[in-house]
């Protein structure tokens, strides 16, 4: 019986090593998105995530928003941006839904795991985009396409986290910030693209109107994301499983085999 345990442990150890070698090209990289705004603060629409080679730009400050960005900034619709991303030749993307009907309320989180190849330059950088609600066209997104490198620069995926602050909320420049309920997503708007066209450019958002409809609402009275220290969302990127997990598992199997051998020796004595 003990010899059988030893043989099984040895076989499993070898199969794990072989399996790991065969799967070296694919690494599970998990993205966890956690909304950090207060209970009566802002929320986020579904989060678009895209992995690319560092050449895909979601937006440029001071320029007019693309159709894909406009759809997200005004209505939280990621489909147009996703189609643009795919049309540019990138295949690794996902729209992550929040727990509240797709929305991320303060404190809520969701995860998605990408299977990535660190040797593939098309799978190195992370970009994201989501609408900040309620608003006319407020959003968060990656401006610098190489800002979020998933690797350590030496061919290995890495664990890291970053927080998007209220000072990093952008204004799409596509819709006037009138805060009318019929024009403001998650506030009273019942259909997409109902706001007044602004025909402006992307810029940092000035914040909700002081004394305006949003901040005067009991539901969003803590929604002033321009306050110092206001946190919107945290991204946690992690390799799953971590390399140390495999080491611990293999070490445990070795110990199991050693124990089996000792049992055989004790029985013989």
The string of pLDDT tens digits covering residues 238-269 is 999 855 444 454 555 444 455 545 554 554 44
A 10 A CB-CB count for 48 gives 25
Per-residue model confidence (pLDDT) at position 29:
98
- CB neighbours of 52 closer than 8 A, spacing ≥ 6? 85, 90, 92, 122, 123, 124, 125, 127, 145
pLDDT at 14 over 50: no
Q: What token pair was written down for 171?
A: 């204004």
pLDDT tier at 23, thresholds 50, 70, 90: very low
pLDDT at 18 over 60: no
What is the torsional sign of CA 45, 48, 54, 56? negative
Q: What is the pLDDT of residues 171-182, one digit of tens each?
A: 999 999 999 999
Q: Are 25 and 124 in contact (CB under 8 A)?
A: no
Q: What is the pLDDT of residues 47-89, one digit of tens each?
A: 999 999 999 999 999 999 999 999 999 999 999 999 999 999 9
pLDDT tier at 160, thresholds 50, 70, 90: very high
- Residue position matching structure tokens 């901040």: 215
Q: What is the pLDDT of residues 115-150, one digit of tens each?
A: 999 999 999 999 999 999 999 999 999 999 999 999
pLDDT at 3 over 90: no
Strands (E), 53-104: 92-96
Per-residue model confidence (pLDDT) at position 188:
87
Kindly report the backbone phi and psi dihedral angles of residue 81, in degrees, each rounded to the nearest multiple of 5, phi listed first.
-65, -40
Rounded CA-CA distance 237/241 in Å is 12
- Mean pLDDT for the chain? 87
Q: What is the pLDDT of residues 39-49, one digit of tens each?
A: 999 999 999 99
Q: What is the pLDDT of residues 188-243, one digit of tens each?
A: 888 888 889 999 999 999 999 999 999 999 999 999 999 999 999 999 999 998 55
Rounded CA-CA distance 187/180 in Å is 9
Rounded CA-CA distance 146/157 in Å is 15
pLDDT tier at 8, thresholds 50, 70, 90: very low
pTM: 0.82
Helix 79-87 and helix 67-75, axial crossing angle in degrees, nearest 10:
160
Question: Across residues 185-190, what is the average pLDDT?
Answer: 88
Q: Is 46 helix (H, G, I), strand (E, B) or coil?
A: coil
């Amino acid at each position: 019986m003990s010899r059988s345990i030893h043989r099984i442990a040895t076989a499993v150890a070898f199969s794990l090593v072989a399996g790991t070698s065969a799967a070296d090209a694919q690494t599970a990289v998990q993205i966890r998105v956690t909304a950090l705004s207060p209970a009566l603060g802002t929320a986020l629409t579904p989060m678009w995530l895209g992995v690319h080679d560092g050449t895909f730009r979601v937006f440029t400050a001071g320029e007019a928003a693309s159709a894909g960005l406009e759809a997200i900034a005004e209505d939280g619709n990621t489909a147009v941006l996703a189609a643009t991303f795919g049309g540019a030749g990138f295949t690794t993307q996902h729209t992550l839904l929040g727990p509240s009907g797709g929305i991320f309320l303060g404190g809520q989180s969701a995860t998605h795991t990408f299977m990535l190849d660190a040797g593939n330059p098309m799978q190195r950088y992370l970009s994201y985009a989501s609408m900040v609600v309620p608003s006319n066209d407020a959003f968060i997104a990656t401006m610098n396409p190489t800002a979020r490198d998933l690797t350590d620069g030496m061919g290995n995926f890495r664990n890291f986290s970053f927080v998007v602050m209220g000072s990093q909320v952008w204004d799409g420049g596509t819709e006037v910030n009138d805060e009318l309920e019929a024009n403001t997503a998650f506030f009273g708007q019942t259909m997409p693209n109902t706001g007044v066209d602004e025909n402006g450019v992307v810029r940092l958002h000035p914040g909700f109107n002081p004394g305006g409809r949003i901040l005067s609402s009991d539901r969003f009275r803590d929604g002033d994301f321009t306050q110092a220290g206001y946190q919107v969302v945290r991204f946690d990127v992690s390799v799953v499983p971590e390399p140390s997990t495999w080491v611990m598992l293999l070490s445990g199997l070795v110990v199991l085999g050693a124990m089996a051998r000792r049992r055989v020796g004790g029985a013989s004595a």
